[in-house]
């Protein structure tokens, strides 16, 4: 039995039956991390802490205690704070930052008995779609190392797909959980905005950022999601109401799946189109009704996202000044020097691009033309999704227009990578939950993901629809 390939459920069952200990599973995971070092999935591996946590979990289990993730090795994206463990955001600026506290979600993981094996690599400050913008080294795709892992949670997705963790936390501002999950053949859930606390997540675009799980199955995502969700007074946008508005669907009969015509543009690649259409047919054959619908404002979403997210990023990242936050450049004589040199030396090119774009769209004279218009477009996009979803259980579309591309192919044209976010960003703008699950492969054997989008706080509807697919479809 290759322990590192088990699902969380299989691992929990084996540990409960006494066939396997958490120490063994954690050891196997750490060995696998060493074997896979070239994939670049981790920034920091917490070997000692992980083995100690695994032993504590084994002891607790032996004493008859149980917890939802007791003894399960998991990874955490490196923009989520971990007490005493370096949290770099894959940036030179935070290269030596060791948080004095755990993020809300990390506390929750620990309370649930999870064993944190390490911090995963990513695009610097979560800005990117390929995990090529890490200041340290890029993440490679778990299926084909010459290709990108997707981003920005590329390390989390690669780790899960290559047996270097049973599940991993990612963050998703415009697709960063779903797109890398899709590129590596994993399952990823971006929860409803406000369902999971952002307390301890290093901010990129605060009105869009959400933490969520990447795992091997929808059921594994559910297990992690149920642990990390919930109200937290430490995040002013955290929702205190009912987070369980979804349904656990077991039969497709009478269910309604919406397909917006904008989801299948003419330019969409043949293989991706074919795989997603086949998955839709699976739901139809199972008894679901396929409903044609429309998101009229869909083509505004990409521009709207890059304006709003960059505007918020320029504000959030202004705190890294080399004085209170982040590393300080050497040899500075004046305070201006400190700001200028530190920010010049320690931010990467993509992060600088976003901050300049953000400052531009917020500047007087351009504010009305860009930021204000994007805010209005955001309202329209939200309304269109609400209308489309009022009449169906979920919408289905591709997660990304292509499969994983060769590393370096967007180096000359950063905007080309932005286009790859066309299906994921509208969901963040609307604040809705969405899940990516593998629905096929292209002719090179690279995974294709489909995206299920649901109503606010209806994560369970998406998870159970994905589960029906995973169990029923021959992939």
The residues, ordered by sequence, that sit 6+ positions from 301 with a Cβ below 8 Å of its Cβ are 377, 381, 422, 425, 426, 429
The residues, ordered by sequence, that sit 6+ positions from 228 with a Cβ below 8 Å of its Cβ are 104, 105, 108, 109, 169, 196, 211, 212, 213
Q: In whole angstroms, how close is the CB of 350 to ligand GLN at the nearest point?
A: 8
Identify residues 327-346 at the interface with ligand GLN (CB under 6 A). none
Q: In whole angstroms, how close is the CB of 121 to ligand GLN at the nearest point?
A: 14
DSSP letter (8 states) at residue 173: S
SS3 content of the chain, % helix, strand, coil (to 5): 40, 15, 45
- According to the binding rule CB under 6 A, does residue 176 interact with ligand GLN? yes
Tell me, residue by residue from 303 to 322, as one string, x for binding to ligand GLN by CB under 6 A and - for no binding.
------x-------------
Size of the site for ligand GLN (CB under 6 A): 13
Nearer CB in complex with ligand GLN: 57/159: 159
Residue 453: beta bridge partners? 395, 434
Nearer CB in complex with ligand GLN: 50/157: 157
User: What is the C-alpha separation between 420 and 271, in angstroms, rounded?
Assistant: 16
Torsion sign (Cα): 305, 310, 311, 317: positive
Tell me, residue by residue from 254 to 293, as one string, x for binding to ligand GLN by CB under 6 A and - for no binding.
----------------------------------------
- According to the binding rule CB under 6 A, does residue 421 interact with ligand GLN? yes
Residue 94: beta bridge partners? none
CA angle 24, 26, 28 (to 5 degrees): 70
The closest residue (CB) to ligand GLN is 176
The residue from 176, 309, 407, 436 that is catalytic is: 176
The residues, ordered by sequence, that sit 6+ positions from 443 with a Cβ below 8 Å of its Cβ are 271
Cα atoms found within 13 Å of the Cα of residue 378, Cβ hemisphere only: 20
Q: In whole angstroms, how close is the CB of 174 to ligand GLN at the nearest point?
A: 3
Q: In whole angstroms, how close is the CB of 212 to ligand GLN at the nearest point?
A: 11
Nearer CB in complex with ligand GLN: 157/392: 157
3-state secondary structure of 131: coil
Nearer CB in complex with ligand GLN: 21/314: 314
Q: In whole angstroms, how close is the CB of 11 to ligand GLN at the nearest point?
A: 29
Given 88, 152, 187, 456, the residue binding ligand GLN (CB under 6 A): 152
Given 154, 174, 348, 426, the residue binding ligand GLN (CB under 6 A): 174
Given 58, 124, 172, 393, the residue binding ligand GLN (CB under 6 A): 172
Given 154, 175, 213, 449, the residue binding ligand GLN (CB under 6 A): 175
Please say if 5 is a catalytic residue.
no
Q: Are 426 and 301 in contact (CB under 8 A)?
A: yes
The residue from 21, 131, 152, 156 that is catalytic is: 152
CA dist 46 to 74, 78, 283, 465, Å?
Answer: 11, 12, 42, 35
Distance of CA 353 to the CA centre of its chain: 22
Nearer CB in complex with ligand GLN: 174/431: 174
Q: In whole angstroms, how close is the CB of 103 to ligand GLN at the nearest point?
A: 16
Point out which span in 60-68, 95-103, 127-135, 440-448 binds ligand GLN (CB under 6 A).
Answer: 127-135
Given 128, 155, 163, 322, the residue binding ligand GLN (CB under 6 A): 128
Tell me how far apart the terminal alpha carbons of the chain are, to the nearest angstrom: 23
Point out which span in 166-174, 233-241, 335-343, 390-398 binds ligand GLN (CB under 6 A).
Answer: 166-174
Tell me, residue by residue from 177 to 216, as one string, x for binding to ligand GLN by CB under 6 A and - for no binding.
---------------------------x------------
Please say if 77 is a catalytic residue.
yes
User: What is the C-alpha separation between 189 and 195, in angstroms, rounded?
Assistant: 12
The residue from 21, 22, 77, 194 that is catalytic is: 77
Given 82, 156, 162, 173, the residue binding ligand GLN (CB under 6 A): 173
Q: In whole angstroms, how close is the CB of 196 to ligand GLN at the nearest point?
A: 14
3-state secondary structure of 457: coil
Point out which span in 2-10, 110-118, 167-175, 359-367 binds ligand GLN (CB under 6 A).
Answer: 167-175
| The two three-digit tokens of residue 351, written as one number | 């992060």
The residues, ordered by sequence, that sit 6+ positions from 273 with a Cβ below 8 Å of its Cβ are 264, 398
Q: Are 231 and 238 in contact (CB under 8 A)?
A: yes
- In order, the DSSP letters of 309-366 are HHHHHHHHGGGBSSSSBS---SS--SHHHHHHHHHHHHS-HHHHHHHHHHHHHHSTTT
Residues of this chain that bind ligand GLN (CB under 6 A): 126-129, 152, 172-176, 204, 309, 421
Active-site residue list:
77, 152, 176
């Amino acid at each position: 039995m290759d322990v590192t390939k088990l699902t969380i459920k299989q691992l929990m069952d084996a540990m409960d039956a006494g066939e396997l200990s958490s120490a063994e599973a954690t050891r196997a995971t750490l060995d696998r991390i060493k074997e896979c070092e070239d994939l670049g999935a981790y920034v920091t591996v917490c070997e000692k802490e992980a083995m100690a946590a695994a032993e504590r979990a084994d002891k607790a289990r032996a004493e008859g205690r149980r917890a939802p993730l007791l003894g399960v090795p998991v990874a955490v994206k490196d923009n989520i704070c971990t007490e005493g463990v370096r949290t770099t955001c894959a940036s030179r600026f935070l290269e030596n930052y060791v948080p004095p506290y755990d993020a809300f979600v990390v506390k929750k993981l620990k309370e649930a008995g999870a064993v944190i094996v390490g911090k995963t690599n990513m695009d610097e400050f979560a800005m990117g779609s390929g995990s090529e913008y890490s200041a340290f080294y890029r993440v490679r795709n778990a299926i084909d190392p010459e290709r990108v892992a997707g981003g920005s949670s590329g390390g989390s997705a690669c780790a899960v797909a290559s047996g270097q963790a049973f599940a991993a936390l990612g963050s998703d501002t415009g697709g960063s959980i779903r797109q890398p999950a899709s590129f590596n053949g994993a399952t990823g859930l971006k929860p409803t905005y406000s369902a999971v606390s952002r307390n301890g997540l290093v901010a990129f675009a605060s009105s869009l950022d959400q933490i969520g799980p990447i795992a091997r199955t929808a059921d594994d995502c559910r297990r992690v999601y149920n642990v990390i969700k919930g109200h937290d007074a430490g995040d002013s946008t955290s929702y205190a109401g009912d987070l369980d508005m979804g349904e656990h669907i077991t039969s497709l009969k009478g269910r309604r799946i919406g397909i917006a015509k904008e989801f299948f543009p003419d330019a969409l690649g043949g293989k991706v189109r074919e795989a997603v259409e086949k998955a839709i047919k699976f739901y139809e054959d199972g008894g679901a009704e396929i409903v044609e619908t429309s998101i009229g404002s869909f083509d505004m979403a990409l521009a709207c996202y890059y304006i709003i997210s960059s505007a918020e990023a320029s504000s959030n990242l202004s705190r890294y000044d080399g004085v209170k936050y982040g590393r300080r450049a050497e040899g500075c004589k004046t305070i201006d020097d400190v700001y200028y040199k530190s920010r010049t030396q320690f931010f990467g090119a993509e992060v600088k691009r976003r901050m300049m774009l953000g400052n531009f769209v917020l500047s007087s004279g351009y504010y009305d033309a860009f930021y204000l218009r994007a805010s209005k477009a955001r309202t329209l996009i939200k309304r269109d999704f609400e209308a489309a979803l009022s009449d169906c259980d979920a919408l289905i579309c591709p997660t990304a227009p292509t499969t994983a591309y060769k590393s370096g192919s967007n180096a000359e044209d950063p905007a080309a990578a932005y286009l790859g976010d066309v299906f994921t960003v509208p969901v963040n703008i609307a604040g809705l939950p969405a899940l990516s699950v593998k629905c096929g492969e292209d002719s090179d054997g690279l995974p294709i993901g489909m995206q299920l989008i649901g109503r606010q706080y209806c994560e369970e509807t998406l998870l159970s629809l994905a589960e029906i697919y995973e169990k029923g479809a021959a992939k």
